[in-house]
Amino acid sequence: MKLTGTSIKAAFLLFFSIIISTAAFTQAPTLKSDSGQTIPDTLLFRIQRAQAAITEINASNKKGYATGNTRQSLSDIRQNIAPIKADLTATGRVIEPKTLTSYDLILKTSQDNLQGLQDKLSKASNDLQRMANEVLNLSKDSVLMVQANDTTARKLYKDQLIDIKVRLQNAGKLTTANLDTVSRLLADVSASNLQITELQANISDRMQVSGKSALRKESPYIWAAPIDNKDEDVGELLSSSIRGQNKILGYFINSTWDNRILVILFGGVFFLWVFLNYRKAQKPDLKQNLGTLDFKYISAMPVIPALIVMLIITPLFEPDSPSLYIEIISFGILALLTIDFWKKLEPKQLRQWLYIVGLYILVMAVTATVHDAIFVRLLLIGVNVASLYIGYRFYQKLKEINFKKGFIKPVLYVFFYLNIMAIILNVFGRISLAKIYSITGIVGLTQVIGLAIFIQILTDALELQIKISSCNGGIFSRLDVSKTRQSFQRMLSVIAVILWLLVFFINLNVAGGVFSFFHQVLVKERVFGTLKFTLGNVLFFIIIVYVSNILQKNIGVLFGEKTIGYANNKVEHKSSKLTLFRLVIVLLGLLLAFTASGIPMDKLTVVLGALSVGIGLGMQNIVNNFVSGIILIFEKPFEIGDFIELADKKGKIQDIGIRSSKMLTQYGSQVIIPNGDLLSNRLVNWTQGASYVKSELIFKVNIATDINALTKIIEDQISKTDHTVKNMSPEVLINAITADSMEIKILIWVTSVYVEPAFKSKLLLDLMPRFTDAQIKVM
C-alpha cells in the first residue's frame, strides 16, 4: 500500500499534536484534596458539597428518629409483661393452661413488636453512624480549613469556611447525642427481648408439665383434702391471678380494636336493615298489603336484637380471644336475653331462664376461688350437681320452646358429660380440668341458647324483607321464597355450629392446637405422581367452583328474570344473552379455581391433554352440546319464551343452558333437551315471527247437507268467537266425500298458539246447537 504526500502530512501533524498534549499534561500541577494551592473553582465545589451534607445531616437530626415514640412503645411492652412475670414467679402459683396460652400470645405479640422496634432502631443507628463518619471526614478535610498562609482566593471564602466549621461542630454534637440515645434504646430492647425469651421458656416448661399431668393428680384426693389451705396465701394468689387476667383482657382489647370496629359495623348494618324496613312498612300503600307485622324477636327499634347479633358473631372476628373475654361476651348475651325475655316469656319459662343465668354467675364465682381446701371443692361439686339438675329440667322443657331441638339436644348431652367429668376430676384431685370443664359446660349451654335466638332474629329480619320486597316487586318477588328460606336456614345453622365449636374450643384451651392441626393438614405439600399440591388449594378450588356454579344459576335474578309459564297465555320473550353471562361466569370461575389450586401451567397443559383424550374417547356428546349451546346463543333460532315443536314435544322454552335447555309443556311437565338435539333436529318455532297460528278443525256431515248454509253458519259463528285474526278470513273446505258423508275442514287463523285448544273447544260448543237448529247432522 502506497502512502501519498497528503497522508504523510496528516500523520505527522497528528503525531506532533499528541506530543504537545502529553507534555502539557505532565507539566501541570496535581490537584490534591488537602493542598493549599487548590484553584478557587475546586474550593467552591468543596464548600457547596460540605454545606449540602451539613444541611442534610441537620434535617435528619431535626426530623428525629421517633425515639420518644419508641421509648413509649418499649414502656408499654414492659408494662404488658410485668404482670405476667409477677404471676409466673409467684410462689406456689398453679396457672391454668388457658391462662398460660394467653400469656404466651401476649409474649409472642410483644416479641414481634420488639423486633419491629429493633429493626427501626438498627436502621436509625446505621444512618447516624454514616452521618457521624461524614462529619468526621469533613472536619479532617484541610481544604475547608483556614490557614495563615492562605492565598488571596482562599481568603475570599474565609467567613464561609468558619461558618462551616461551627455548623460541623453542632451537627457532630447532635448526631452523637442521637446515636447515644438510639444505642441505649437498642440495649433496652435487647434486654426486654431476653426477658421475654426467659418467660416463654418458663411457659413452655409449665405447658409441658401441664400436658403430661392432664389426667394426673395435682391436688389431694377429696377425702384427703385439707380443711384449710395454710401453705398458700390464697389472697395473694387470687390477687396475682386477677392482675394477670386483667392484663390479658386489657392487652387483647387494646390490640384487637380494629376487629371490634368490624363487629360494630355489622351490627349497625343489621340495625339499619330492620329499622328502614319497618319504616317502609309504615307507608300507606305497603301497610294495607302487609297487614299487621307481628314478629317475636325484632321490632321497629331493634337495639337489643342488633346488640345480640353483634355479641354472637364476635368470636368469628376474634377467633384467638382469651377465654375470659368469651366469658364476658357470654354474660353480656345473657343480660341482653334476660331483658328481651322479661316480657316475652311466661312466668315459668322466665323462672327457668333465670335459674340458668344464676347458675352461670355461680359457676364463674366458684371456679375463680377453688383451691385445694375441701370446702371450696365440695362447693364446686355442688355447683356441678345443680348444673346437671337445671340442665335436665331444661331438657324436659324443650317441647315448650320453639327452638331447633336437633341443635340444642347434642349441646345438652355435652353439658351433662362435662359436668359429670368435672365432678370425677375434682374428686380425684384434678382441679384445673374440673374448673375448665365446669366453665365450658355452662358457657356452651348459654351460647347455644343465644345462637338459637340469633337464628330466630335473622329469620324474622329476612321474613320482613321478603314481605316488603314482594309487595314492591323487588328481588324476592322473582325468587322461590320457600327455597330461599330453606337455604338461609341452612346457612345460619352452619354458622351457628361453627360459632359454638369455636367458643367451645376456646374455653377448653385447645383452639390453638385445633387451628394448628387444620393448618398443617391444609398447607402440607402432597405428591401425586409428579404433581404437587396441598389440601388447602384443593379446598379453594372446590369452593370457587361451587360459588361460581351457584352464581351462574342465580344470575338471572339480578337481571329481573322471572319464571316462564302459561299463567297469562301471552308470548314472553327473554334475551338469551343471560346464557352468555353464565358461560363467562363459569369460565372465569374455572380460571380462578385453577389459579387458586396452585397447579403450574405446564401441569395444566398435561391435564388439558388428558381431557382432550377423554373428549376423543367418550365426551363427544358433552362437547357437542356445549358448542351447540354457544351457537344457539348467537344464532338465535329461538329465544326464552318461544313456543316450539321438536319431534313429538311442544312447549315454551324456559331456559337456555350451557349444556341443555328446558322446555315447559302445556301439561306442566318440564323437558330437558340437549342443545345438540335442538340444533341438529328439525325444530318448529311457532312464536318467533308472530304469535298467531293457523288452526284446523275436521268433522263429517251428512251427504245431503246444504253446503252453502253450512258455510254461512260456520263463518258467522267464527266471526262472533274471540281470539281470531279478523283480517284473515276463515276457509271452509270439503276435504273428502264418501257414500253417505262429507268431510269438512275448517282453517282459521288464531291470535295465539296458547289459546288454540280453548278456541277449538269454544267454537265446537257454539256450533253444535246451531247445527241442531239447522237440522245439520254431524256424522
Between 80 and 31, residue with greater pLDDT: 80
Element (DSSP H or E) covering residue 646:
strand 643-646
Burial pattern 318-355, b for ≥16 Cβ within 10 A else e, equals: bbbbbbbbbbbbbbbbbebbeebbeeebeeeeeebbee
Report residue 270's pLDDT band, with 50, 70 and 90 as the boundaries. Answer: very high
C-alpha cell at 100: 398460660
- Which residues, including other chains, have CB under 8 Å from residue 642's CB and lie 6 or more apart? 571, 573, 652, 653, 685, 686, 687, 688
Which residue, chain included where needed, has cell 328439525? 682
In 647-756, beta strands by DSSP E: 649-656, 660-665, 670-674, 683-685, 693-702, 731-737, 741-750
Instruction: Give counts: helices (H), strands (E), the chain.
Output: 24, 10
- Taking a C-beta distance cutoff of 8 angstroms, is the pair 166, 133 a contact? no
Please give the Cα distance from 750 to 696 (Å, whole number): 10
Between 2 and 269, residue with greater pLDDT: 269
- What is the model's pLDDT at position 700? 86
- What is the model's pLDDT at position 44? 67
* DSSP per-residue string spanning 533-553: EEHHHHHHHHHHHHHHHHHHH
Model confidence, pTM: 0.62
Closest alpha carbon to 142 in 57, 55, 43, 45: 43
Tell me, what amino acid is at 542? Answer: I
Please give the Cα distance from 455 to 447 (Å, whole number): 12
Closest alpha carbon to 694 in 654, 768, 746: 746
- What is the model's pLDDT at position 157? 64
C-alpha cell at 235: 389472697
Q: At what angle do helices 303-317 and 323-341 cross, to 10 degrees?
A: 160
- What is the model's pLDDT at position 614? 60
Report residue 420's pLDDT band, with 50, 70 and 90 as the boundaries. Answer: very high
- What is the model's pLDDT at position 2? 41
Give the pLDDT confidence of 118-171 residue by residue, as tens digits.
Answer: 888 888 788 777 777 777 776 666 666 656 555 555 666 666 667 777 777 777
Please give the Cα distance from 655 to 162 (Å, whole number): 91
Q: Would you say domain 40-212 falls under CATH 1.10.3470?
A: no
Tell me, what amino acid is at 131? Answer: M
How many C-beta neighbours within 10 Å does residue 529 have? 7
How many C-beta neighbours within 10 Å does residue 363 have? 24
Give the pLDDT confidence of 690-709 residue by residue, as tens digits.
Answer: 667 777 888 888 888 888 88
Which residue, chain included where needed, has cell 365432678? 423
Give the pLDDT confidence of 561-604 residue by residue, as tens digits.
Answer: 555 555 455 555 555 566 667 777 777 887 787 777 766 666 66
- What is the model's pLDDT at position 507? 80
Give the pLDDT confidence of 615-655 residue by residue, as tens digits.
Answer: 555 566 777 777 777 777 776 777 777 777 777 777 888 77
The values of phi and psi at residue 24, to 5°, are -65, -35
Q: If you average pLDDT over residues 3-8, what whole number do you get?
A: 40
On the question of pLDDT at 212 being above 60, the answer is no
- Taking a C-beta distance cutoff of 8 angstroms, is the pair 366, 434 a contact? no
Please give the Cα distance from 579 to 470 (Å, whole number): 26
Pair type for strands 649-656 and 643-646? antiparallel
On the question of pLDDT at 42 being above 70, the answer is no
On the question of pLDDT at 23 being above 90, the answer is no
Closest alpha carbon to 352 in 296, 397, 384, 419: 397
- Taking a C-beta distance cutoff of 8 angstroms, is the pair 369, 235 a contact? no
- Taking a C-beta distance cutoff of 8 angstroms, is the pair 643, 650 a contact? yes
Among 95-109, 403-417, 444-458, the least confident range: 95-109
Q: 733: buried, middle or exposed (CB in 10 Å: 19+, 13-18, 0-12)?
A: exposed
- What is the model's pLDDT at position 480? 62
User: Can you name the residues that pair with 743 across neighbouring β-strands?
Assistant: 700, 736
On the question of pLDDT at 36 being above 60, the answer is no
The SS3 assignment for 739 reads: coil
Please give the Cα distance from 201 to 591 (Å, whole number): 47
C-alpha cell at 475: 328481588
C-alpha cell at 81: 409483661
- Taking a C-beta distance cutoff of 8 angstroms, is the pair 604, 539 a contact? no
Between 249 and 8, residue with greater pLDDT: 249
Among 143-157, 239-253, 335-349, the least confident range: 143-157
Please give the Cα distance from 217 to 430 (Å, whole number): 5
The SS3 assignment for 525 reads: strand
- What is the model's pLDDT at position 41? 56
Report residue 611's pLDDT band, with 50, 70 and 90 as the boundaries. Answer: low
- What is the model's pLDDT at position 551? 77
Percent of the chain whose predicted confidence (pLDDT) is above 70: 72
Report residue 307's pLDDT band, with 50, 70 and 90 as the boundaries. Answer: very high
On the question of pLDDT at 473 being above 50, the answer is yes
- What is the model's pLDDT at position 227? 74
Please give the Cα distance from 587 to 548 (Å, whole number): 9
Please give the Cα distance from 311 to 313 (Å, whole number): 6
Q: Which of 12-16, 100-104, 733-737 shows the highest mean pLDDT?
A: 733-737
- What is the model's pLDDT at position 308? 92
Q: What is the CATH number of domain 693-773?
A: 3.30.70.100
How many C-beta neighbours within 10 Å does residue 303 have? 12
- What is the model's pLDDT at position 16? 38
Q: Which of 44-48, 514-518, 554-558 shows the highest mean pLDDT?
A: 514-518
- What is the model's pLDDT at position 768? 86
Which residue, chain included where needed, has cell 352464581? 551
Please give the Cα distance from 177 to 164 (Å, whole number): 20
- What is the model's pLDDT at position 600? 65
Residue count of the chain: 779
Please give the Cα distance from 674 to 691 (Å, whole number): 25
Residues of the chain within CATH 3.30.70.100 domain(s) are 693-773
Tell me, what amino acid is at 222? Answer: I
Closest alpha carbon to 167 in 143, 134, 142: 134
On the question of pLDDT at 688 being above 70, the answer is no
The SS3 assignment for 456 reads: helix
Residue-averaged pLDDT of the chain: 75
Q: Which of 96-100, 282-286, 292-296, 335-339 shows the highest mean pLDDT?
A: 335-339
Please give the Cα distance from 402 to 448 (Å, whole number): 14
| Cα-Cα end-to-end distance for the chain | 128
- What is the model's pLDDT at position 26? 36
The values of phi and psi at residue 16, to 5°, are -65, -40
- What is the model's pLDDT at position 521? 81
On the question of pLDDT at 272 being above 90, the answer is yes
The SS3 assignment for 141 reads: coil
On the question of pLDDT at 351 being above 80, the answer is yes
Give the pLDDT confidence of 427-467 residue by residue, as tens digits.
Answer: 888 887 888 888 888 888 888 888 888 988 998 888 888 88
Closest alpha carbon to 632 in 591, 685, 669: 685
- Taking a C-beta distance cutoff of 8 angstroms, is the pair 210, 97 a contact? yes
C-alpha cell at 764: 265446537
Q: If you average pLDDT over residues 2-7, what whole number do you get?
A: 40
Q: If you average pLDDT over residues 61-87, what whole number do you get?
A: 77
Q: If you average pLDDT over residues 655-676, what whole number do you get?
A: 78
Report residue 7's pLDDT band, with 50, 70 and 90 as the boundaries. Answer: very low
Please give the Cα distance from 423 to 380 (Å, whole number): 8
On the question of pLDDT at 37 being above 50, the answer is no
- What is the model's pLDDT at position 476? 62
Tell me, what amino acid is at 416? Answer: F
Report residue 352's pLDDT band, with 50, 70 and 90 as the boundaries. Answer: confident
User: DSSP assignment, residue 477?
Assistant: G
Please give the Cα distance from 711 to 713 (Å, whole number): 6
Residues of the chain within CATH 1.20.58 domain(s) are 40-212
On the question of pLDDT at 336 being above 80, the answer is yes
On the question of pLDDT at 9 being above 50, the answer is no
Please give the Cα distance from 319 to 668 (Å, whole number): 51
- What is the model's pLDDT at position 246? 67
How many C-beta neighbours within 10 Å does residue 200 have? 16
Give the pLDDT confidence of 492-515 residue by residue, as tens digits.
Answer: 888 888 888 888 888 887 777 777
On the question of pLDDT at 686 being above 80, the answer is no
Q: Is the dihedral of CA 445, 447, 450, 454 positive or negative?
A: negative
Closest alpha carbon to 542 in 531, 554, 550, 532: 550
